[in-house]
């Protein structure tokens, strides 16, 4: 399967539908790019359907629907980068906060910090090397060279509120330039001078508690959130003739003093309290705090929970110049890298070794563990656990020594200088060394030894060779006897997909939707549901969960990609009648609830309730065989009954 250039594909689609000027709006659902065209006659549908990466084109509900499949979010994002028909981010259905309050908080922090995390890491690494160079006498602190390099490294941290204003504005849908102006006022030299002078400050006779907002995090995020409400209010009440300039004018006049008098002090005190709490944990029970951070950091990363800790680390650095939370992370990261290295030396599977070598190098030198975690340690399980064990021991020792980081760097050998000036560096090295030794030794002697027989088999789950990750046509591995409903229910080497709901089985060719009935999305079947509880047909990971609750993409533990689509064209209901029970990233077992749907509401709205179960990577599998509805008693399936047999 040829690799698709999604930016080129987005551009070709735009050209094929008559250019950007002919697109009134764009959204996407689980599989389709949905365009609202001003004049459909200008679209060359035949040309669009021939584009590599496009499955077919449909026209329904006043929309021009370009069916792309699982990669539609990527095409949508590229569409936003080359046109103004979207804001360049995934559609609302994909990005809106989902799940409980904690999940929403993590999603919020992730969206605000992820765009700047790499520049932060780069600047932190430069700060660490400059610190090392001055300590070793390679660079005079007062030299002009050092001044220029220090400014290069420090600027991002000093003006961090301005950078966060941009990402927060995108998240909260405010005018980003107004947000930047608010942030710039907080770090304006005269404001910084007022904070440093210590003298009483007032605004219009009202006392102001002055703070230093350079490198701060929380004040600008809260300020931009409030800015969104103010801008929307002003837009609604101001006359259109003066709205364009009076909205930012009034926003600045209100928000800057408001932040300085209320939001800034409150959030700064909150940040200082958080920092004090973290320091207390590392002061009174350092071994426990270090063991938790060192042992479970990579687990936090897996579930995205680490984004909730990043503001705490940055807060520590802004209030005290270093972060104790980061001290144990060297052991956590290098422990996983060491386990991966042991796998590379131990395994006899050439494909695994090919993945493990570069992954271990990336972990040791750059602190980037995703290739190691997803391509090696997690699929094999034991190396991941052994890496955690090393991180627990090493993190506890580093924390006992009061180790921390003076710069925000990715924990790695290259970032080591950032850990050299906080706490007992010897204990940091001892703890990290033990983490590496424990993870490496346990993995090498007690980890799974993949045999040569695997060399000629399928690609490795989660590796670069996995077709589900890289788009390769190589078949995936068959099931290996997992327990419970996840296990193959058929003969050896087969994977059984269960019916997600009880109801009348419908052959795919009879489904009233061209995309599904043609088999363009893969093989599968339809079920006219008898009740509104839709369950997972497989054990695996939710890879896509539409906010509307009508469609879910699941990657099974056996490597089978499954789409559960509730009803035909039900995305038009915009979530009415649907209640999703899972979000993207959730782990589910076969039979777990995916969603509850009000079938009567869907039917009364004029939509077909037929629920599709599709194997979207059919082309990469040996066979996908749905049950023959005519052979079933009454033609009905019971929820949990085998519905599709897959041979990898």
Residues involved in catalysis: 29, 565
Cα(198)–Cα(638) distance, rounded to whole angstroms? 74
Sign of CA dihedral 51, 56, 59, 62: negative
**Max CA-CA distance within the chain?**
87
* Bridge-based pairing state of the strands 578-580 and 23-28: unpaired
> What is the rounded distance in angstroms from the CA atom of residue 381 to the CA atom of residue 536?
24
Q: Which own/partner contact pairs does 101-105 have at CB distance under 8 Å and 24+ positions apart? A: 103/583, 105/308
Which residues have C-beta within 8 Å of that of residue 142, sequence separation ≥ 6?
none
What whole-number distance in Å separates Cα of residue 543 and Cα of residue 548? 15
Which segments of 478-593 does DSSP mark as H helices, in order? 514-517
Rounded distance between C-alpha atoms, residue 282 and residue 396, angstroms: 10
Q: Using an 8 Å Cβ cutoff, are 557 and 481 in contact?
A: no
Alpha-carbon distance of 29 to 573, in angstroms, equals 12
Angle at 157 between CA 156 and CA 161, to 5 degrees: 90
DSSP string covering 81-132, please?
HH-SSS-SS--HHHHS--SSHHHHHHHHHHHHHHHHHHHHHHHHHHHHHHHH
CA-CA distances (angstroms) from residue 531 to 528, 552, 610? 9, 18, 11
> In Å, what is the CA distance from 156 to each residue of 57, 126, 159?
46, 12, 5
- What dihedral do alpha carbons 201, 204, 209, 212 form, nearest 10°? -70
Written in H, E and C, the secondary structure of 412-452 is CCCCHHHHCCCCCHHHHHHHHHHHHHHHHHHHHHHCCCCCH
Rg (C-alpha) for the chain, rounded Å, is: 28
Residue 486: which residues within 8 A CB-CB, separation 6 or more? Answer: 538, 539, 556, 557, 558, 589, 590
DSSP type of residue 511: S
Q: Which are the contacts of 16, defined by CB distance < 8 A and separation ≥ 6? A: 43, 44, 45, 47, 48, 51
Q: With left for phi above 0 and alpha for psi between -120 and 50, is residue 524 left, alpha or beta?
A: left
């Amino acid at each position: 399967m040829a690799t698709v250039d999604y930016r080129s594909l987005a551009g070709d689609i735009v050209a094929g539908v008559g250019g950007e000027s002919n697109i009134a709006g764009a959204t996407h659902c689980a599989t389709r790019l949905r365009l609202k065209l001003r004049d459909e006659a200008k679209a060359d549908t035949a040309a669009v359907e021939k584009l590599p990466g496009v499955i077919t084109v449909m026209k329904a509900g006043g929309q021009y629907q370009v069916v792309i499949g699982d990669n539609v979010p990527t095409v949508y994002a590229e569409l936003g980068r080359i046109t103004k028909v979207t804001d360049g981010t995934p559609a609302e259905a994909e990005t809106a906060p989902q799940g409980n309050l904690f999940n929403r908080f993590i999603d919020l922090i992730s969206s605000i910090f992820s765009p700047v995390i790499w520049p932060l890491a780069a600047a932190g690494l430069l700060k660490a090397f400059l610190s090392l160079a001055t300590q070793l006498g390679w660079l005079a602190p007062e030299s002009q060279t050092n001044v220029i390099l220090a400014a290069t490294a420090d600027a991002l941290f000093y003006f961090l509120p301005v950078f966060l204003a941009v990402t927060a504005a995108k998240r909260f849908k405010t005018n980003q330039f107004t947000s930047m102006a608010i942030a710039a006022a907080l770090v304006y030299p005269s404001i910084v001078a007022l904070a440093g002078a210590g003298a009483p400050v007032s605004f219009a006779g009202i006392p102001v508690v002055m703070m230093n907002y350079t490198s701060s995090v929380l004040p600008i995020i809260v300020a931009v959130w409030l800015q969104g409400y103010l801008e929307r209010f002003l837009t609604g009440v101001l006359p259109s003739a003066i709205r364009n300039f009076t909205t930012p004018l009034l926003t600045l006049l209100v928000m800057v003093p408001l932040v300085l008098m209320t939001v800034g002090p409150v959030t700064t005190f909150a940040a200082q309290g958080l920092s004090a709490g973290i320091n207390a944990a590392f002061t009174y029970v350092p071994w426990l705090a270090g063991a938790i951070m060192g042992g479970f950091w990579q687990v936090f990363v897996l579930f995205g929970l680490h984004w909730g800790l990043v503001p705490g680390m940055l807060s520590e650095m802004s209030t005290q110049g270093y972060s104790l939370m980061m001290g144990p992370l060297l052991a956590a990261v290098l422990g996983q890298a060491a386990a991966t290295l042991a796998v590379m030396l131990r395994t006899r599977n050439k494909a695994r070794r090919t993945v493990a070598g570069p992954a271990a190098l990336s972990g040791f030198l750059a602190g980037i563990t995703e290739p190691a975690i997803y391509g090696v340690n997690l699929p094999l399980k034991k190396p991941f656990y052994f890496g955690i064990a090393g991180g627990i021991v090493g993190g506890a020792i580093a924390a006992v020594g009061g180790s921390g980081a003076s710069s925000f760097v990715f924990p790695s050998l290259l970032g080591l200088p950032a850990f050299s000036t906080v706490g007992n560096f010897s204990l940091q090295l001892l703890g990290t060394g033990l983490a590496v030794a424990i993870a490496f030794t346990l993995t090498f002697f007690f980890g799974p030894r993949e045999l040569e027989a695997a060399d000629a088999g399928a690609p490795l789950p989660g590796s670069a060779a996995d077709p589900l990750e890289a788009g390769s046509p190589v078949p995936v591995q068959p099931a290996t006897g997992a327990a419970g409903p996840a296990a193959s229910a058929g003969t050896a080497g087969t994977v059984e997909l269960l019916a997600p709901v009880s109801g009348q089985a419908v052959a795919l060719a009879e489904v009233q939707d061209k995309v599904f009935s043609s088999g363009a999305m893969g093989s599968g079947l339809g079920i006219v549901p008898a009740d509104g509880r839709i369950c997972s047909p497989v054990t695996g990971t939710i890879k896509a969960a539409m906010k509307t609750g009508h469609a879910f993409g699941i990657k099974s533990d056996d490597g089978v990609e499954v789409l559960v689509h509730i009803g035909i064209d039900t995305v038009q209901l915009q979530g009415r009648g649907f209640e999703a029970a899972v979000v993207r990233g959730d782990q589910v077992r076969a039979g777990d609830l995916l969603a509850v749907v009000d079938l009567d509401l869907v039917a009364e709205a004029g939509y077909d309730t037929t629920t599709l179960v599709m194997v979207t990577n059919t082309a990469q599998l040996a066979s996908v065989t749905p049950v023959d509805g005519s052979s079933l008693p009454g033609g009905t399936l019971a929820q949990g009954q085998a519905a599709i047999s897959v041979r990898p």
